[in-house]
Amino acid sequence: MLENTGAIGENSALFDWHECRDAAVRRQDFYFDLPEELIAQQPAKERRGSRLLVMHANGTLSDRQFPDILDFIQPNDLLVFNNTKVIPARLFGEKASGGKVELLIERVLDENTLLTHIRSSRSPKTGSRLTIENAFEIEVLGRQDALFKVRVLANTQSALALIETHGHMPLPPYIQRQQHAQADSAEDKERYQTVYGEKPGAVAAPTAGLHFDQALMQAIRDKGAQIGFVTLHVGAGTFKPVQVDDITQHVMHSEYLEVDEQMVAQIQATKAKGGRVIAIGTTSVRSLESAAKFSQGALQAYRGETDIFITPGYQFQVVDVLLTNFHLPESTLIMLVSALAGYSRTLQAYQHAVHQRYRFFSYGDAMLVFPPATLPLNEMKLNGI
pLDDT above 70 covers a percentage of the chain that reads 89
pLDDT value at position 151? 97
Band the pLDDT of 296: cuts 50, 70, 90.
Answer: confident
Work out the average pLDDT over 30-50.
97
Both 37 and 120 in a single domain? no
Residues 154 and 207 in one domain: no
Q: Is residue 51 part of a domain?
A: yes
Same domain? 78 vs 143: no
Phi, psi for 308 (deg, rounded to 5): -60, 135
Cα torsion 233, 237, 242, 246: sign: negative
Q: Do 251 and 126 fall within a single domain?
A: no
Q: What is the mean pLDDT of residues 99-120?
A: 94
What is the phi-psi region of residue 334: left when phi exceeds 0, alpha when psi lies from -120 to 50, beta otherwise?
Answer: alpha
The pLDDT value given to residue 3: 37
Average pLDDT score over residue span 101-121 = 94
Same domain, 220 and 311: yes
Nearest CA-CA partner of 325 in 358, 348, 278: 358
- Tell me, yes or no, whether 228 and 330 share the same domain: yes
Q: Is the pLDDT reported for residue 385 higher than 50?
A: no
Examine the pLDDT at 379 and tell me if it is beyond 70.
no
Is 66 within the bounds of a domain?
Answer: yes
236 confidence band (pLDDT: 50, 70, 90) = confident
Phi, psi of 248 (to 5 degrees): -70, -15
Residue 23: pLDDT band with limits 50, 70, 90: low
Same domain as 360, residue 271: yes
Q: Is 115 exposed, middle or buried (0-12, 13-18, 19+ CB in 10 A)?
A: middle
3-class secondary structure, 153: coil
Q: Tell me whether residue 3 is in a domain.
A: no
Q: Please report the DSSP string for 343-364 in residue order.
A: HHHHHHHHHHHHHTT--BSTTS
CATH number of the domain to which 98 belongs:
2.40.10
Residue 115 pLDDT class (50, 70, 90 cuts): very high
The verdict on residue 211 lying in a domain is: yes
Give the single-character DSSP code of 96. T
> Beta-carbon neighbour count of residue 184 at 10 Å?
16
Mean pLDDT of 174-200: 83
CA distances 101 to 97, 119, 129, 239, 289, Å, are 11, 6, 11, 21, 38
- CB–CB of 101/95 below 8 Å? yes
pLDDT bin (cut points 50, 70, 90) of residue 200 is: very high
Residues 289 and 368 in one domain: yes
My answer on whether 242 and 263 are in the same domain is yes
Q: Which residues contact 151 (CB under 8 A, 6 or more apart)?
A: 112, 113, 114, 138, 139, 141
Q: Per the domain annotation, does 236 fall within a domain?
A: yes
Strand partners, 84: 199
Q: Where are the alpha helices (DSSP H) in the chain?
A: 159-166, 186-191, 214-222, 261-272, 282-294, 332-341, 343-355, 377-382
Q: Is 8 a domain residue?
A: no
Please give the residue range of the domain that contains residue 147. Answer: 90-167
Tell whether the model's pLDDT for residue 372 goes beyond 50: yes
Q: Each residue of 308-350: pLDDT tens digit?
A: 999 999 999 999 999 999 999 999 999 999 999 999 999 999 9
Distance CA 116, CA 315 (A): 34
Q: Tell me if 334 sits within 8 A of 328, measured CB to CB.
A: yes
pLDDT band (50, 70, 90) for residue 178: low
> Does a structural domain hold residue 172?
no
Determine, yes or no, domain membership for 179: no
The verdict on 202 and 56 lying in the same domain is yes
Shared-domain flag, residues 259 and 343 = yes
Clarify whether residues 163 and 200 are in a common domain. Answer: no
pTM: 0.89
Question: What local confidence, expressed as pLDDT, does residue 25 receive?
Answer: 83
pLDDT band at 179 (very low <50, low <70, confident <90, very high): low
**Percent helix, percent strand, percent coil in the chain, to nearest 5:** 30, 25, 45
Among 129-138, 177-186, 298-307, the minimum mean pLDDT is found in: 177-186
Q: What is the CATH number of the domain that holds 320?
A: 3.40.1780.10
pLDDT of residue 15: 35
Beta bridge partners of 226: 78
Picking from 167, 182, 213, the residue at the C-terminal end of a domain is: 167
What average pLDDT does the segment 255-275 reach? Answer: 97
- Per the structure, the count of domains in the chain is 2
Residue 106 and residue 78: Cα distance in Å, rounded?
31
d(CA 89, CA 164) in angstroms, rounded, equals 8
Contacts of 260 (CB under 8 A, 6+ apart): 230, 301, 303
Mean pLDDT of the chain: 89
